[in-house]
Amino acid sequence: MTENLLIVVLAVLALLVVVLRIARGLWVGSRQWGSSEGSLFSPDPHLAGLLEQAKGAPKARVKDILREIGHAAATAGSPEKRAVCFDAAGRLALGELKRPGPAAGLFLRALRADPRCLSALYKLEEILMSQKRLRRMEATYWDVLGRLDDAAVGSDMWMRCWSGLASLYAESPRTVRRADAIRKAFATFASEPEASREPQPASVSADERT
The answer on pLDDT for 196 being more than 50 is: no
Residue 208, pLDDT score: 35
Amino acid at 96: E
Residue 193 vs residue 73, higher pLDDT? 73
105: Cα separation from own chain's centroid: 15
Please state the domain extents for the chain: 26-208
Q: How confident is the model at residue 139 (pLDDT cuts 50, 70, 90)?
A: very high
The answer on pLDDT for 181 being more than 80 is: yes
178: Cα separation from own chain's centroid: 20
Q: Is residue 90 a contact partner of residue 84, using CB atoms and an 8 Å limit?
A: no
Residue 26, pLDDT score: 36
Please provide the CATH number assigned to the domain covering 26-208.
1.25.40
